[in-house]
A = this chain, B = another copy of it.
Amino acid sequence: MSKTEQNGEKQISSAVIRRLPRYFRYLRELIRNNIMRISSKDLAEKMNVTASLIRQDLNCFGGFGQQGYGYNVKYLYNEISTILGVDKHYSAVIIGMGNLGHALANNPLFEKRNVAIKGLFDVSDNVIGKKVGELTIMDMANVTDFCRENKIDIAVLTLPKPEAPAAAKLLAKAGVRGFWNFSNMELSLPEYSVKIENIHLGDTLMTLCYELAKEDNESEKDEI
C-alpha cells in the first residue's frame, strides 16, 4: 500500500486537525501568490511555529517534503482540503439575532466554507419579521419544523447562555447534528450524536492579556 492510500485510513489526532484550517489558509495564500514550493523552515517562519511541528503535522497526511526542495504547496493544499471536507455543502440556521447573530449572518465566512445560512431565529418580537440580507428573522417557535423540513445540519448558537442548552436539545431532536456555539457555555449533549464547537472568544483575549502582563513583569524586573 502506498503512503497516499494509507493516508485515507489513518487516524489524525484532533490536535493536528485543529491546526489544519491554519495550514489551509496559509497554503491558499501561497498559491494566490504563485508560490508552489516552500521549505518547512519558511512555512514555520510565516506561521510562527517550529519547523519540526510542521514536518510532524504534514507527515501525518502524506506531505513529505524533499530535502533541499521543500513541499509541493498545491499537493498539500489539496490533501488538506480533502481531509477537511471543504468540498462538502452544509446548511445552517442562526439562533439568536442580537449583534453577534447579525455580524455572523452578514459574514462571508459561511459562503467560503460552503455553509448555506437557511434561516435566522429569535424569540423577541422586536426582531422577528425583520430582514437581514435575503432572509427574514423567524419566530423560534417554528424552529423545529423548519429544521426538519430543510434538513438543517448546523445551528449557530448566539443566544444567551441560560437559553442555550434547551434550544440545543430542541435542535438536536429536529435533526441538527453540528453546533457552533457562541453562547459562552460549554455545551454538551451526550444523549445525542452531535458535534459541538464551543467558542469562547474571551480565551484569546486572556492569552493577549497574558502576553502583555508577561512583558510588564519583565520590564518591572529590569527596573529593579
Residues of A within 8 A of B (CB): 17-18, 20-22, 24-26, 83-86, 88, 90, 98-100, 102-103, 106-107, 109-110, 112-115, 153-154, 177-180, 184, 186, 195, 197, 199-217
Contacts and interface: CB of A to CB of B under 8 A. Distances in A.
A112 B139 CA distance: 32
Nearest to A198: B204
Oligomeric state, in copies:
2
Nearest to A153: B212
- Chain A binding surface SS class: helix
A90 B209 contact: yes
A162 to B, nearest CB: 14
Give the one of A106, A107, A113, A203 with max B CB within 10 A: A203
Given A99-B102, A195-B208, 18 more contacts: A20-B206, A20-B207, A21-B202, A21-B203, A21-B206, A24-B206, A85-B213, A86-B206, A86-B209, A88-B213, A99-B99, A99-B100, A99-B103, A102-B103, A115-B205, A115-B209, A177-B212, A197-B204
Given A109-B205, A205-B115, A178 B102 contact: no
Contacts of A206: 20-21, 24, 84, 86, 113
Contacts of A110: 205
Nearest to A87: B213
Q: Which 8 A-B pairs have the closest CB atoms?
A: A85-B213, A99-B103, A21-B203, A195-B211, A109-B202, A100-B103, A21-B206, A99-B102
Contacts of A17: 207, 210
A195 B212 contact: yes
Contact of A213 (B22, B84, B213): B84
Contacts of A114: 209
A113 B205 contact: yes
A179 to B, nearest CB: 8
17 contacts: A17-B207, A21-B207, A83-B210, A85-B209, A86-B206, A88-B213, A113-B202, A113-B209, A115-B209, A154-B212, A177-B212, A177-B215, A178-B211, A180-B205, A195-B211, A197-B204, A199-B201
